[in-house]
Amino acid sequence: PVLVVDFGAQYAQLIARRVREARVYSEIVPSTTPVAEMLARNPKAIILSGGPSSVYEEGAPLLDDARALFTAGVPVFGMCYGFQLMATTLGGTVDNTGAREYGRTALYVSKASSTLFEGTPAEQSVWMSHGDACSAAPEGFAVTASTDLVPVAAFENDEKRLYGVQYHPEVMHSTHGQQVLEHFLYRGAGIEPTWTTGNVIEEQVAAIREQVGSKRAICGLSGGVDSAVAAALVQKAIGSQLTCVYVDHGLMRKGETEQVEKDFVAATGVRLKVVDAQERFLSALAGVTEPEEKRKIIGREFIRVFEQAQAEIVAEAPDDQPVEFLVQGTLYPDVVESGGGTGTANIKSHHNVGGLPEDLEFELVEPLRQLFKDEVRMVGSELGLPDEIVQRQPFPGPGLGIRIVGEVTRERLDLLREADAIAREELTAAGLDREIWQCPVVLLADVRSVGVQGDGRTYGHPIVLRPVSSEDAMTADWTRMPYEVLARISTRITNEVRDVNRVVLDVTSKPPGTIEWE
Ligand code: XMP
């Protein structure tokens, strides 16, 4: 693989994705990994990510043996902090000036014959975020770009195959960033762009067959993209040795259960067990209004139903091979984040199908562990899953249960389901599905306001629309969506949904608000 060394900023994942967009397989390693260990993996190239704004910053992460990394003969591309590290390690000069350059900056390419910049404009827009500046490149390096403030903004050493840029080529605002990255990969490092999601399917199918053998596996389907694609992939590998379990907790949106029962089965031919657990969840949630308590109850009930389903699957075919494997739709960002995520505050207890307890005693099958969300979608399409499943926006495991502020009852769920269906229908009709990351529709069940309809007074509940734009749900902004679409949704909801007499728009970013209301 191409290794992306993560110096602790949020850029490493983005770089890894950009490399894959260039059809080259990449993986992220923390900067605390010994260099010998990185080299032992025979990387085709190594990319050093951004990190703190300066190599002189107190506690700035260093490699245990940077010199060894730069002299091993492996092509290296340093970006931002990685660029400074390359410069200082190899004898260049980085001035501890404290001068700062942030945001969009003009970059002047100074050499036409550059490996990195060939075919790109002499002046281009790049994204900077650094304190100190490199004033002299290490010996043997050609300086190939500068900015108004930085004399050495890029350097290259074709002989040693070492390259560096002071800016962030991976972000969208660097207009020719992807081209520069591809130049490094193809021209600098001589890598062929051959990695595709098609390869992933073949590789994973073989790996799953090897892992599971003739035993049986089960998979919890949530209706979401990840579990659906994971299940489809495993189904392709082991066919009827897989049983999927779908727990209908009654907190799904309109049409979702049918989508899993019909569309998913039609597309994959998977063996599916649907458990109707609506009553069970409703009675467990009766009288509960506190969000964390709701989440815990839903998580707990889910596990119980799942365990029961598992026991039934075994009881139905006791002579078959044992059920030893559990399929989960874990994605690469989860893997990367759980590797480094210590000491983060618990904002909400996320409930996932993946949140099954460890004492279930299964071996895990996680065929999406290497993939990013957009890659998972591509794999899903290639496996023949319909767009309605593959392009679905995120929906929380606890479902509409955490979109009713107040007690969850069947009547309230029905009402919210109607309002949500209208909003989704209009957003889709307006062509906004891709632009909007997701749009929770929330019922304020404990709030009433006075309205007038026909000639009469009403005293109904408000519905909140929460359209957000986001890259990864960690941060989000409220979507500035067209007034006409908002107007249509509002009119339809207040006309068509009983007991709702007001529609309001949530104009809070995250932070401080979270995406969901509970
Ligand atoms: P918040 O509300 O924390 O949501 O800003 C971030 C993203 O996570 C989704 N979400 C969940 N997903 N189980 C899930 O699988 C959960 O318990 C859960 N809670 C929130 C939310 O929809 C958003 O995309």
pLDDT tens digits for range 380-424: 999 999 998 999 999 998 999 999 999 999 999 999 999 999 999
Which pLDDT band holds residue 473 (cuts at 50, 70, 90)?
Answer: confident
Q: Flag whether pLDDT at 437 surpasses 50.
A: yes
CA of 476, closest atom in ligand 1:
5
Instruction: Please say if 168 is a catalytic residue.
Output: yes
Q: Which amino acid, 184?
A: F
Question: Using CA of residue 328, residue 333, residue 339, residue 343, what is the dihedral sign?
Answer: negative
Which residue has 């007499």 as its token pair? Answer: 501
Mutate-to-test residue for ligand 1 from 247, 348, 373, 464, highest number of ligand atoms within 8 A of CB: 348
pTM assigned to the model: 0.81
Give residue 354's pLDDT. Answer: 46
> Quick one: which atom of ligand 1 is closest to the CA of 395?
22
Compute the distance from residue 226 Cα to the ligand 1 centre, in Å: 14
Residue nearest to atom 20 of ligand 1 (CA): 396
pLDDT at 57 over 50: yes
- Quick: pLDDT tens for 111-131: 768 999 999 999 999 999 888
226 is in an annotated binding site: yes
Give the Cα separation of 476 and 466 in Å (integer): 11
- The finding on whether 373 has its CB within 6 A of some atom of ligand 1 is no
Dist CA 486 CA 154 (whole Å): 47
**In sequence order, what are the beta bridge partners of 129?**
102
Question: Residue 342 above 70 pLDDT?
Answer: no
Write out 253-317 in H/E/C secondary structure: CCCHHHHHHHHHHHHHCCEEEEEECHHHHHHHHCCCCCHHHHHHHHHHHHHHHHHHHHHHHHHHC
Higher-pLDDT residue of 285 and 149 is 285
The answer, yes or no, to whether residue 346 has pLDDT greater than 60, is no
Kindly report the protein residue whose alpha carbon is nearest to atom 10 of ligand 1. 396
**Farthest CA pair distance, the chain:** 85
Query: Given this model, what pLDDT does residue 505 score?
Result: 98
Residue closest by Cα to atom 12 of ligand 1? 396
Residue 338 has pLDDT above 90, yes or no: no
Closest alpha carbon to 299 in 397, 410, 405, 408: 397
**Alpha carbons 303 and 297: distance in angstroms, whole number:** 10
Instruction: Go through the domains of the chain in sequence order and give each one's CATH number.
Output: 2-188 (3.40.50.880), 197-390 (3.40.50.620), 403-505 (3.30.300.10)
Confidence of residue 89 (pLDDT cuts 50, 70, 90): very high
Ligand 1 centroid, distance to 423 Cα (angstroms): 19
Q: Which of 101, 130, 156, 168 is catalytic?
A: 168
Q: What is the pLDDT of residue 53?
A: 78
> Does 225 show up as a binding residue in the annotation?
yes
For residue 362, the model assigns a pLDDT of: 84
User: Counting atoms of ligand 1 from 1, which one is nearest the CA of 349?
Assistant: 17
Q: Which of 101, 130, 134, 170 does the annotation list as catalytic?
A: 170
In contact, 53 and 97? CB cutoff 8 Å: no
The pLDDT of residue 63 is 95
Q: For residue 353, which atom of ligand 1 is closest to its CA?
A: 15
Query: What per-residue confidence (pLDDT) applies to 350?
Result: 63
d(C-alpha 449, C-alpha 468), whole Å? 25
506 lines ligand 1 (CB under 6 A): no
Residue 514 in contact with ligand 1 by CB distance below 6 A:
yes
Looking at residue 203, its pLDDT comes to 92
Q: How far is CA 75 from CA 71, 156, 163, 347, 443, in A?
A: 9, 11, 8, 41, 55
Distance of CA 518 from the midpoint of ligand 1 (Å): 9
On whether 227 is known to bind a ligand per the annotation, the reply is yes
